[in-house]
Amino acid sequence: MNRLIIFLLLLISHNNYAQNSAKELEKTFISKNEKLFLDNFPDSFNKFKSIFGWNDKLEKPNLLYNNANEYIDYFFTLVIKPKYKIYQNKIIKISINGKWEADAVGYFQTKLHSIIKTNKDFVNLLSSLNEKDISSFWRFYFDSENLDYPNELNTVLEKEMKNKSKMIFGKMKIEKNQDPENISKNRQSKYQIFDKDGYTNLRAEKNSNSKIIDKLQSGEEITVIESIDNWWKIQNKNKKQGYVHKSRIKLKEEDKSVTDNLNFIKNLEKKGFKNILEKKCDLNQDNINDKIIVFSTAFSKKSDVDDYKEFMVCVVINDDLFHNKNIIQKYYRDNVAAGFNDIKIKDNYFTVEQVNGSGSGILQEYTTFKYSKINNKIILHKYSKIETVRSSGDEDEKTYNFSEKNFGRILFEDYNSETISEKCKK
């Protein structure tokens, strides 16, 4: 019982600290008191999250979540000034023990990537860290779905720091490839040998001078065990394991759709969309994981009332990708509600939940889709909304439920949140 009381007191204390810190930071941001702003800016990853991040326990945004990018931009603009460069140390402190997340954390990581490429003073700070902190810093720097070592680091880092960063990067690559989920992905995808000479050699080590274990015929199917660097560890049809240069390996044609799906998601990310929610499910009931992923853009740097976030809902069932950017309404800065809330899943049904509002009222929407095995389609099953209208201090709440007999047959790809109410009137 005593432990529970202590835990609750610590939790309350932490929440109070976060709220007070956020309010002080907000004051200095509005007044543009540069030094006080820098003094109040968080100096650890947990503090940063408690102000700008998403509250996982309460499932709601922390105090400065919606305007995080503006605060982060202002911070990085200040710390590159010679008189404030001492505050660059806060970037390192936030990075230590950091872990990539969507929105504020992801945006902070982007700014970190930028400053390390352009600011020699900041790069020099890294040499003062102990080995543990250096490792933690680089783990946050590289933390992403697609692990890449930027070429720019070869230019901006001194030899010793470059070697340390590459060592951490290599460890992360190995960890990622040894992760059961990633091993499963490699084994599910079918690879084959491709060589214009008709064959290539299976080597004992990661170089072309090592012992030849076996010959691999062009077109021969293989299993990829480890895909690190240029030499991949594979197993052939005779169960022999060794290394082949990645230029001699390609996906079989039947797996091209997997590559197309990955390219679609990469293109989304290039356009500024970030993964804000990902849920595993089994919509087609085949005991193989399907996924529902929600991507979102961020607000622009300008504090424009017409600025908004866009959302894309993607559903991956086996090798098929379904996507729609019109299910979740655009989230404007003056929205008084939370906007997109969650996706609930049961069997072959899933419901997109969102709440949007203005000064005159709140609209809660629940849009339910079902997956049909018969034709491999996702179809609108049910649309519900709760309208709360405010007038002269009073609130009037009405609930509406619509089914296929009201709106007809609407495919997932064709659904539009802006026209659904009109379709339900028919």
Centroid of chain to Cα 63: 21
Mean pLDDT of the chain: 86
Same domain, 211 and 296: no
Same domain, 232 and 348: no
Residues 6+ apart with CB under 8 A from 146: 266
Same domain, 137 and 280: no
Same domain, 322 and 376: yes
Q: Which of 14-23, 40-49, 324-333, 372-381 has the lowest mean pLDDT?
A: 14-23
Q: Give the model's confidence band at 303: pLDDT under 50 very low, under 70 low, under 90 confident, else very high.
A: low
CATH of the domain at 208: 2.30.30.40
Count of structural domains, the chain: 3
Residue 126, domain member (yes or no):
yes
Same domain, 294 and 264: yes
What confidence score (pLDDT) does residue 255 get? 55
Same domain, 130 and 261: no
Q: Which of 235, 251, 267 is the last residue of a domain?
A: 251
Same domain, 331 and 237: no
The tokens 């996507």 sit on which residue? 323
Residue 182, domain member (yes or no):
no
**190 or 343, which is more confident:** 343
Residue 124, domain member (yes or no):
yes
Strand ordering across the sheet containing 311-317? 274-281, 290-296, 311-317, 320-324
Question: pLDDT tens digit string along 257-274?
Answer: 666 777 788 888 888 899
Q: Which of 134, 155, 177 is the last residue of a domain?
A: 177
Same domain, 371 and 232: no
Residue 101, domain member (yes or no):
yes
Same domain, 263 and 244: no
Q: Which of 208, 224, 251 is the last residue of a domain?
A: 251
Residue 388, domain member (yes or no):
yes
Residue 185, domain member (yes or no):
no
The pair of structure tokens assigned to 397 is: 């709440």
Residue 246, domain member (yes or no):
yes
On whether the pTM is more than 0.75, the answer is: no
What confidence score (pLDDT) does residue 225 get? 82
Q: Which of 5-14, 96-105, 141-150 has the lowest mean pLDDT?
A: 5-14
What confidence score (pLDDT) does residue 9 get? 45
User: How many other C-beta atoms are found inside a 10 Å radius of the C-beta of residue 311?
Assistant: 24
Residue 286, domain member (yes or no):
yes
Range of the domain at 239: 191-251
Same domain, 275 and 416: yes
Same domain, 165 and 223: no
Q: Which long-range CB contacts under 8 A does 341-350 form with residues at least 24 apart?
A: 342/59, 342/277, 343/277, 343/279, 343/292, 343/294, 343/313, 345/279, 345/281, 345/283, 345/292, 347/283, 347/285, 348/283, 348/284, 348/285, 348/372, 348/373, 349/381, 350/281, 350/283, 350/292, 350/315
Residues 6+ apart with CB under 8 A from 84: 34, 35, 38, 78
Same domain, 154 and 286: no
Percent above pLDDT 70 for the chain: 88
What confidence score (pLDDT) does residue 56 get? 67
Q: Which residues, in sequence order, are bridge partners of residue 387?
A: 363, 398
Max mean pLDDT range (100-114, 128-142, 355-369): 128-142
Question: pLDDT tens digit string along 361-384?
Answer: 899 999 999 999 888 899 999 999
Taking the chain, what is the end-to-end CA distance rounded to the nearest angstrom? 59
Residue 347 has pLDDT above 70, yes or no: yes
For residue 352, the 8-state DSSP code is E
> What is the rounded average pLDDT of the residues 383-411?
87
